[in-house]
Structure 1
Amino acid sequence: MKMFAIPALASALALAACGDAVDNSETAETAQVTSADATEAATDVGTIVDVAAGNEDFSTLVTAVTAADLAETLSGEGPFTVFAPTNAAFAKLPEGTLEELTKPESKATLVGILTYHVVAGETSAEALGEAIAAGEGTAELTTVNGSKLTASVDGEAVILTDAAGNTSTITATDIEASNGVVHVIDTVVMPG
């Protein structure tokens, strides 16, 4: 897992912008090979659901995804960007909330919350950092649920702010899957 580092990203972008013109034919060929290797490696790791199921820190998320009948969707072609709450993030919810949400009669609410953690397309940490910089400090993300999340930077941390104004910190980034990417968050975000 890579930790999100805006200063390193900014430095890398600045250095790239200052570089001299070079023959990029060999670089492009290397990039194609690297891209193919990355696609093959991501295929080897499985879908977003497979990645989550293979990490005990996401067992609560997997339980919630299963209760919401979203496993098939999140195992689909995608690509998706998932802001995945850890077990500790779910533990921050008020007592009894998760139990209530995983009841059959609460399925629609649970689907709404879980799809609020998913963005269509693959957004790497670098792309998110660039979007925040281009937005002069914030980037608005439209989730699969239709509601917005706002990403911003606080020191070296990337923060997500939900519709209710609550915040979550991205603690790890760019966990690759065959159908997208996962970024780990420390708090469950709510659509409103």
Structure 2
Amino acid sequence: MTEIHTPRLLLRRWHDDDITFMADINADPQVMRWVGDGSTLDPDTTAEEIERWEEEWDEEGFGLFAVELLGSGELIGFTGLSVPEFLPEVAPDVAISWRLGSQFWGQGYASEAAQAVLEFALTDRGLDRVISIIRTGDEASENIARKLGMAPERETVHPVHDFPLTVHAIDLTEYQA
């Protein structure tokens, strides 16, 4: 089982009892503002997402980690890697992404988890390059990408929702653990 420990977090595969906690995060309009069309997700859709994320682990050898606080074991969201099939123009790149409950924002958890996942991608999984696809205007996510050493590479438009996206990238030669 793949797990990553950071000073404050455990990044792990998903458990069945995570659905309720992730559904609460996905039901928060503030969290979902920059995700997809901005709609919140119900528990059934959240369960389907988690199932897809777990399938990606089996198919690709990477995926989205459930992120929990080491001290309390509380699930606070996800961080991980995925193949961004919704945006074929970036193929064959792998994207890093994150989504935390709003009560956990501003505490450095997303940056801490994303840094651990980036290291996992480039050193453990042997990826030469990682991207992040961020909705233009999402300053918090732009800040995390900068902290990871990623640079804006191109602008594009979401093929379904028609809003602007910025693709950030880092490759192994630019990465410093």
Give the structure-2-normalised TM-score.
0.31
If you compute each CA radius of gyration, which structure gives the higher value, 1 or 2? 1
Select the structure that is richer in strand: 2
Select the structure that is richer in helix: 1
* Higher relative contact order (Cα pairs below 8 Å, separated by 6+ residues): 1
Give the structure-1-normalised TM-score.
0.29
